Amino acid sequence: MQLHVKKSLMFFTFVSCFFISFSAQSTKLHHDQFGELVFAHSVKDTALTFHYLDSQLSDCQYVAIDKYPEVEAMLLEGIIVRVETKDIQVLGTDSPFYSLANNLMDLAAFKQAHPQVEVAAHEYENGYYLRWYNNNQSKAIVVDYVQGKVTNIKAGIVPHVLFVEGCA
């Protein structure tokens, strides 16, 4: 009897860990949101726990979200205006950046396959900013493509998502 209970407990623990891991890994970045972080909404309206990463610069600050440790959120007066990460796993297979980030396509092929993505010279690095806007250009996903690799990913509300320095 004890062996059966022990096996059931081990199975339950394994399944729980699998679903927790799967749900964290399956969160993908979109023009409107990342998981429960919806752009243009207050972070306090979510059930998410977070902590401030730095002191408040005017009304702008960065927070870390416990549920999404790979992402930092930029808040303006408490409103989520941008998220930022270096983790390419946030890109879903439906994202135009997926193939580029996973080295399935080079930049020349990417530009030809995705003419809707704006390409601009990077301000500080040997590379490019790749900007994919939503239909009304109020939100965007911006990728820093430096020396042949995706090095940073931002998404959020225009113009905040376009700022190089974020809150600065």
CA distances 73 to 16, 44, 76, Å, are 27, 12, 10
pLDDT at 7: 44
Cα angle 113-38-25, degrees, rounded to a multiple of 5: 65
The alpha carbons of the chain give a radius of gyration, in whole angstroms, of 19
pLDDT at 65: 95
CA distances 67 to 38, 47, 142, Å, are 14, 10, 22
Maximum pairwise Cα distance, the chain:
67
pLDDT at 54: 77
CATH of 25-162, one of 3.90.1690, 1.10.8, 2.60.460, 2.60.40: 2.60.460
Nearest to 110 by CA among 92, 126, 130: 130
Token pair recorded at residue 107: 């930049």
Global pTM exceeds 0.95? no
Token pair recorded at residue 123: 């301000």
pLDDT digits (tens, 9 = 90+) for 25-59: 468 999 999 999 999 999 989 999 999 887 665 78
Q: Which residues of the chain have pLDDT under 50?
A: 3-25
pLDDT at 71: 96
